[in-house]
Chain A
Amino acid sequence: MELGLIEDFVRKHESRLYRTAVAIMGNRADAEDIVQDAFIKVLEKRPGFESPEHEIAWLIRVTVNLCRSRLRSKWWKTTEPLLDSYPARSESEQQLMETILSLPAKYRIVLHLFYYEGYSTREIAEVTDQKESTVRSLLTRARQKLGALLKEEAP
């Protein structure tokens, strides 16, 4: 692919992938590495995309997989906490993000894809290579945990 086209492609998707990686990894250093690796993977494989949605889903899938393998590898960076890098603008935002970031990554992945990307449980199942029933149960448990943690924190 020509450099100009690569640059356009990267600009088009970089923030979305970075956000996804940040939401899963909880820190910017790992998220940055993951986004770079995701683009390199695309350029190596050069898959043919059927539609813009397919392109985005493919990129998110690669990003989620890279996050998962980094989380498994135990050498992830976890330097600066996310809320130090990107401070919250209100108390409620701060509490919500602290609580979400305290959840295990498997819950953060489904929460992000469902509530931020607006994917259905079927689409999340495809992107994450899991059964739809697993995704539904992860989502239910994530909501319960989130609710319980927020109640716990409440004065």
Chain B
Amino acid sequence: MKGGREGMEDMEDREGRADYRSYLDRIVVDEDLHSRIMSRIAQSSEVREAEWAAEQTAQAQRDEWAVEQATRIAQQSDKPRAAGVP
């Protein structure tokens, strides 16, 4: 550093910038961290798949109920009306 700290007056100083770059260049994802990232992604994708499956089941149940309701209404309307009932 030229003149000690004077040389890093701000980031415009080439050496200050080089210090910042060289410090950050050493910060890398190691294998442990990479594994943690991948496992979190896998977990989240399992959760998403489970949510999707639950939503599909719920939708199927809603559809089934709607069909049952429609069938019941159709059957009721097919029944002959009692006498006197408008």
Contacts and interface: CB of A to CB of B under 8 A. Distances in A.
Interface of A: 3, 6-7, 10-11, 14-15, 18-19, 22-23, 32, 35-36, 39-40, 43-44, 86, 88-90, 92-93, 95-97, 100, 111-112, 115-116, 142-144, 146-147, 150-151, 153-155
Contact of B28 (A15, A144, A153): A15
A43 B36 CA distance: 16
Contact of B10 (A88, A95, A147, A155): A147
A20 B19 CA distance: 16
Q: Specify the main secondary structure of chain B where it touches its partner.
A: helix
B19 A93 contact: yes
Nearest to B5: A154
Given A36-B41, A100-B20, A22 B34 contact: no
Nearest to A97: B23
Given A7-B38, A143-B10, A96 B22 contact: no
B6 interface: yes
A35 B19 CA distance: 24
Given A7-B38, A86-B27, A115 B5 contact: no
Contact of A96 (B8, B28, B29): B8
B11 interface: yes
Interface residues of B, number: 34
A40 B40 contact: yes
A18 B28 contact: yes
A92 B8 contact: yes
Contact of A40 (B9, B12, B29, B41): B41
B62 interface: no
A92 B1 contact: yes
A15 B34 CA distance: 9
A88 B5 contact: no
A146 B48 CA distance: 44
Contacts of A155: 5
Interface string B6-18: 1111111001110
A23 B34 contact: no
B5 to A, nearest CB: 4
B45 interface: yes
Contact of B34 (A3, A11, A86, A151): A11
Task: Give 7 nearest A-B pairs by CB, closest first.
Answer: A147-B10, A154-B5, A14-B29, A36-B40, A143-B10, A93-B19, A15-B28
